[in-house]
Chains A and B, each alone.
Chain A
Amino acid sequence: MASNPYLPHLATLLEVREETEDIKTFRLAFDDPEVASAWQYLPGQIALLSLFGVGEAAFSLSSAPLGQGWLEFSIRRMGKVTTALHQLEPGAKVGIRGPFGRGFPCELFRGHDLLVIGGGIGMAPLRSLVNYVLARRKEYGRLQIVYGARSSRQFCFREEIFSLWPQAPDTQVYLTVDCPEEGWEGHVGFVPDYVAEINPSPEGKYAVLCGPPIMIEKTIARLEERGFLPQHIYTTLEMRMKCGIGKCGRCNLGAKFVCLSGPVFSWAELKEEREKF
């Protein structure tokens, strides 16, 4: 038989980090060194993780492709596959297929300022982008990161958002939580309102968003009010996926399949679509 795109490559779970009460980051390395060196990805791309006997589900990579020899996925415990993943210990075997789809246009972003806006688990693919940019700091302009969570306990990547990123050159991190809480000195409020408050200038800047659909919709409205052009706004769509290769049909957005044409889209492209995500 010709090569089988449904066959995952086996990988070993190296490390599990608890990010929040229901989000863990899984570090995985391919068992076959040839697969490991051939597997190239961009921030924003997705992969399908398999637990044999449980099932397969699509996730975006939360690590940046910096030649580490491993991949990371930051996953909230939600359904069948994610619950089983959350029970794994280092050494467990996981299948990986991918990378699929179109990642963030990092080449297009080069030389520009970036406004990265994440809500909840939506920060996972954006973490990949931020670390990719920070590894090439001089090639990109100012980096502003806005990250909202339901409460301060729900923030992922704590070392990065509280210490590593704020200390990086020409980088600001703006954190916000949905409701006031004891001990939280930072901003309180929803992401779209915080973005309006920060009042970013659209000049020479790309905005990149990921989060719940309602956050994306409202934040884009705030950005457009401030003069951001649709072609300077990028987002990555979560969509239920099964095959990852444009056959199974469920991730269609009009005539496009998100697994092939996405998950990253510019707002200019999404505006053309009649269907809402």
Chain B
Amino acid sequence: MDYRVITQEKLPLFLSALRQSFLLAAPVEEEGEVYFRLLEDPSQVYLGPRPSRVPPKIFFFPPTEPLLRYRREGEKWEVFSAEQDPRPLILFGLRPCDLQSLKALDAVFLASPPDPYYAARRENTLLLGISCPEVGPGCFCVTYGYSPTTSEGADLHFTLLGKFYLVEVLTPRGKKLVQDYASFFAGETAGALEAKQSKEASLLAKFVAPPQLTGVKEKLPSLYHDPYWEELAWRCLGCGICTFLCPTCHCFDIFDRGEEEGERLRCWDTCLFKEFTLHTSGHNPRASLSARLRNRFYHKLLYHYERYGVEGCVGCGRCVVFCPVNIDIREVMVEVRRRGSSGF
């Protein structure tokens, strides 16, 4: 791997320079919350401890987007693909969990037949990761075997070490970027790798009793009919916030807007709404909230992995932090390990 360093002062200048050739999106603070936004002014970038409220999947799988457009002329219908913004995008400030979550989404959207809209945006976007400055209250990335400084999945990855960032150059596209913008970087990285390691160690030491993954997948099948899911559903409001803010949730609905001329849209949907699986006949295979909540946890903790060999949860903690009734997937994992048996 290739390494560079960039000073804290030069980082906004680098980002400003990028804006000449790219769309640039990064976390910013708005009304007390952190959101990824297209940036006008790189000095606004939020580099504090909180992760973005809405995950950066919005840039690849927007909450609403057209899948096609249609137009009627007399008896003729014209149907065509929706256009996309062709300008290349740079996403700066992706957390290690954000980067990991793209593996889970890639597994779905790039599986044959690939989703052309998602695929085109992935292709057209450079990923600039950043190590987390702190461990947040909902965080449990370590459960999934990576850390707040893991750079996997990024083109470039930034870790703040004192007054400068260590920059890991992880892909040919990342390499081209540091070459094209060479004046912002220095090649002298003596001691930086060791500094990153000790930073990682100090962050890892801050996790208090993260849930263990061992046995969760093995034990879940034995708990399918356990009363636990009903107990959990007593609290659940079925609001779906855990799915809308989940960086790996990919479910969507499709509907048409416009009669003679319009677009067929997809928009985020959630398995916690009863309409999600409601048949036109009135039959509903997941009629109860407990069945829907159970499906969500099985999907996150088991089904996604069974299907794709990629974890369906990355431990970002958004569902933990934003659940209005404090349903905590980490506690679910602990309960599964406690109640379940693997000899099913």
Residues of A bordering B, CB below 8 Å: 1-8, 10, 50, 52-57, 78-79, 82, 91, 93, 95, 212-213, 238-240, 242-243, 245-250, 252, 254-256, 274-277
Contacts and interface: CB of A to CB of B under 8 A. Distances in A.
B252 A248 contact: yes
B5 interface: no
A249 B277 contact: no
B278 interface: yes
B344 to A, nearest CB: 10
B183 interface: no
A3 to B, nearest CB: 7
B79 interface: yes
B305 to A, nearest CB: 8
A101 B258 CA distance: 30
Contacts of A93: 75-77
A269 to B, nearest CB: 14
Contact of B279 (A2, A240, A242, A254): A240
Interface string B264-298: 10100101000011111101010000000001001
Interface in B103-158: 108-109, 111, 113-117, 119-120
Contacts of A91: 75
B303 A255 contact: yes
Nearest to A238: B279
Nearest to A214: B283
B285 A249 contact: no
B251 to A, nearest CB: 3
Nearest to B111: A246
A53 B262 contact: yes
Q: What's the interface size class on B, roughly?
A: 35 or more
A275 B254 contact: no
A250 B271 CA distance: 7
Interface stretch (B20-28, B35-43, B66-74): B66-74
Interface of B is mostly: mixed
Nearest to B285: A277
B280 A247 contact: no
Contacts of A79: 280
B283 A1 contact: no
B198 interface: no
Nearest to A248: B252
A248 B72 contact: no
B86 to A, nearest CB: 10
B281 A55 contact: no
Nearest to B225: A274
A256 B299 CA distance: 11
A9 to B, nearest CB: 9
A213 to B, nearest CB: 6
B188 interface: no
A248 B253 contact: yes
A4 B307 contact: no
B281 A53 contact: no
B33 interface: no
Given A7-B81, A275-B285, A249 B250 contact: yes
Contacts of A275: 224, 285, 295
A7 B254 contact: no
B109 A247 contact: yes
Interface string B9-22: 00000000000000
B276 A250 contact: yes
Given A240-B276, A240-B280, 18 more contacts: A1-B120, A2-B114, A2-B116, A5-B113, A6-B68, A10-B79, A56-B256, A79-B280, A82-B280, A239-B277, A242-B253, A246-B111, A247-B250, A248-B254, A249-B250, A252-B295, A254-B306, A256-B307
Given A10-B79, A52-B79, A250-B251, A3 B260 contact: no
A143 to B, nearest CB: 28
A6 B255 CA distance: 12
Contacts of B108: 246-247
Nearest to A251: B277
Contacts of A95: 77, 79
A249 B295 CA distance: 11
B256 A240 contact: no
